[in-house]
Amino acid sequence: MLLSFHSRALTVIAVVCGFLGVVYAGESKIDRLVAMSNDRDTFINDISFVTDNKGVVLNLLYVTREGGKVTAQKSFSVLQLSEADGAVLEEERGVKAVSLHGKVNSQTGQSSLFIRFVANGMTGEFKTCAMQAVRNAQGIWQLLNARSLKPITQAKMLTWALGFRTIEGICPAELAFD
């Protein structure tokens, strides 16, 4: 069971997915930043912030769904985002294929983030795309495109045989390749 996004619990919020689970004490909420899909399968990956009642980010939550059912879940501390490896969202055969990096500033409600992904697994080439996470007037965190500053609610990872070509909705068009 995954509690609905932007819902508030008075004492405890529990995010449970089969054998995986995270429990946050106190009044907490989940602000979904983006739902990411790709062109190779039907999985949807939700990237969310778990916050307290003042909008302070407690954790990053990465939930994978297929057909409406949660199939996997990862939780990362705010500190992990600022470390060298970042929050490793996807790993394949020891390669950190997709990771999220940056610093979350809960006091100002403005955060700079970037997503790093493998563009060519043969050569070890990675690409990065910048984003911003901001807390809006309603106290809900949302993701913004770094160039247009427009909200991003959905993104699509476009793949090729050796990695990812781009992430539509997040990366600039000139970063994509055929």
d(CA 6, CA 174): 34
What is residue 68's predicted lDDT score, i.e. its pLDDT? Answer: 87
pLDDT of residue 173: 75
- Which uninterrupted H or E stretch holds 81? helix 78-82
At residue 37, the pLDDT reads 96
Nearest CA to 133 among 33, 29, 59? 33
Q: Which residues of the chain have pLDDT under 70?
A: 1-26, 174-178
**Mean residue pLDDT across the chain:** 85
Per-residue tokens: 71: 């199939």
**pLDDT number for residue 58:** 95
Q: How confident is the model over 22-44, as pLDDT tens digits? A: 445 567 899 999 999 999 999 99
Looking at residue 172, its pLDDT comes to 85
Task: State how far the Cα of 23 lies from the Cα of 25, in Å rounded to an integer.
Answer: 7
Q: What is the pLDDT of residue 177?
A: 62
55, 109 in Cβ contact below 8 A? yes
Using a 10 angstrom Cβ sphere, with 0-12 exposed, 13-18 middle and 19 or more buried, the burial of residue 23 is exposed
- Amino acid 96 reads K
Give the pLDDT of residue 25. Answer: 53
Three-state DSSP class for residue 150: coil
Residues in the chain: 178
Q: Rounded to two decimals, what is the model's pTM?
A: 0.83
Q: Are 7 and 51 in contact (CB under 8 A)?
A: no
